[in-house]
Structure 1
Amino acid sequence: MLEGMDGGLVAASVGPYGAALADGSEYRGRYGLSVPALRDWHRPRLEVLADACPDLLALETVPDADEGEALAGAVAGLGVPAWLSYTVAGDRTRAGQPLAEAFAVAAAVDEIVAVGVNCCAPEDVGPAVALAREVTGKPAVAYPNSGEGWDGRGWTGGSRFRPVDAAGWIAAGAGIVAGCCRVSPADIAALSRAIRG
């Protein structure tokens, strides 16, 4: 858990710009917009959510370091803590930028209290969490998807989400662990048991 934020917290979700386009670009990034244009697009949404008084803002499933930078700028001064999590492929954002550069955009932003990854393959979590801690010195968040693929018609492959892996994520610096797409309620129950011992 993040220091000073114990149990029962409500995080308001702020997804990527690409989700509004409904063309799958939320998993690719590189929208053709500048950092200031993305910041201007996100800021009104963040203000509305901040006015609702959540405990945290979850700036999540961000595919692109430019959008991460825009969100970091937009959340500054809102008075609500936030985490920033990227969707990744290996050691890069979905847009192809090195994760170290992506995490670095949050390092000096006081409102961003944690950084990490979500909606990524489970095997990408450990190295990303360790890098997030190294680059920012902040706690990490880790909530991968099941690892299944999507071919445009349906889900392919089997789940690779293993709740026992959470111990390694926590050891690497994750203060919040959970699951994203295709992680089932049974997986979350097993995750809870694995974390609590």
Structure 2
Amino acid sequence: MIQGRTIAFLVAPEGIEQVELTEPWKAVEQAGGTPKLISTERGRVQAFNHLDKADTFPVDAVAGDVSASDFDGLVLPGGVANPDFLRMQPEAVRFVKEFFEAGKPVAAICHAPWTLVEADVVRERTLTSWPSLRTDLRNAGATWVDKEVVVCTGGPNTLVTSRKPDDLKAFCQAAVEAFGG
């Protein structure tokens, strides 16, 4: 259980893979936690079902106005455009890096580890991702493995990663366990 814990979900204004946002969000709520949607702009974010527009979701706070000290953990949903946009936003990269510096758990799925690469927090960590990120992660100093979920505790914090939407059940379970301490 993660009763009383607040978990940040960092996303771009558009391009989020909807199921990679909504399933972990539900898992956090069902475990008693409070999810908060953080983006780089106020308003609503546009999610996608692969390449098709899906639902929009209200932003709770802007990355430039919050810090890791406001939260107990971080989820980075995937989608190709989402992390590609975030890794080019200094306030988003700073926000991600703060979770590692503070030793707080982070969960990233699919293409989301691109943002971790930009934050320079994967060196000497073991993780997984969508297969096309394998070379990027290895070049950034990570050990990449092809597994449904990887929980890496060999660093300043617990890092949970998964490859794709088919891995969401295992990803959500491991993330909630990490957020529970």
**Fold in common (TM above 0.5):** no
Larger Rg computed on CA atoms: 1
Range class of TM-score, shorter chain: 0.3 to 0.5
Q: TM-score, normalised by structure 1?
A: 0.34
Higher relative contact order (CA 8 A, sep 6+): 2
* Greater strand proportion: 2
Q: Give TM-score, length-normalised by structure 2.
A: 0.36
